[in-house]
Structure 1
Amino acid sequence: MLYLVHTRDKPNALDIRLANRPAHLAWLTAAGVRIKAAGPWLGSDDKPAGSLLIVEMESRAALDAWLAQDPYALAGLFQSVEAAPYKWVFNPPVDLNP
C-alpha cells in the first residue's frame, strides 16, 4: 500500500536538518524502490520547512516502525508527522499502473 507522509520541521531547525541530511539520504536510499517520491517542501523563505514522501509499505505498522528510524526524527527535527494511505491516480509511475 502507498502512504503519503508529510512532516513539518520545528521552527528555526534548519541546522538540525542540514547536520543530519547525509544520514537521512542514506536511510532513504536503503529503502530502495519502496520510495516512490521524496523531497523537502519549502517555506516562504525558500528553505526546507518539512518533507513529503510517498512510500510503499506493507502496513501502517511497518510504515510507523520505518519512520521511527529516520535520522531526522531521531535528531528531533520534526514538529509534526502525518501519514495516510494514498492512491496515486494521475500520472502514477510505471510500476504503479494497473
Structure 2
Amino acid sequence: MHFIVYCIDHPGMVERRLANYDAHKAWLETSPLRTLISGPLTELDGTMIGSFFLYEADDIENVRAFASRDPFNVAGIWETVDIRAFLKRVDNR
C-alpha cells in the first residue's frame, strides 16, 4: 500500500529544522519503509515549512511508528503529522 505523510512545522522552525537536518537524513536512511518521494514543503519563496513523504508499506502502523521517531518530530519541529492511505491512479514517470 501507499501512504502519504504530510507534516507542517510550528511557526519559526527554520533554524531548528536546519540544526536537526543531519539527524533527520540519517534517520530516513534507516527506513524499513520504501520511500518513493520525500522532501520539504515550502512557501513560494523557498522557506521550508514542513515535510512530505510518499511511502510504500505493509500497514499504516509501521508508517506511524517510523514518523513518530523521526528527529524532526522528536525535536518538536512538526506541529502536525497527517498520515493517509493513498491510491495511485496515474504515474507519468
TM-score normalized with structure 1 length: 0.86
Q: Tell me what 1:45 maps to.
A: 45
Alignment RMSD: 1.7
Q: Tell me what 1:22 maps to.
A: 22
Are residue 65 (structure 1) and residue 68 (structure 2) matched? no
Q: Tell me what 1:82 maps to.
A: 82
Aligned length: 93
Distance 1:2 1:82 in 2: 14
Q: Say which SS state the counterpart of residue 30 (structure 1) adopts.
A: coil
Matched residues, percent identical? 28
Q: Which runs of 5+ in 2 are unaligned?
A: none
Considering fraction of residues, name the structure with more helix.
Answer: 1
Encode CA deviations 1:63-89: one digit per residue, 9 max, x unaligned: 111111100000000111111001222
* Equivalent residues of 2:38, 2:52 under 8 A apart: yes
Instruction: Supply the AA of the counterpart residue of 1:55.
Output: Y
Are residue 7 (structure 1) and residue 11 (structure 2) matched? no
Distance 1:14 1:53 in 2: 19
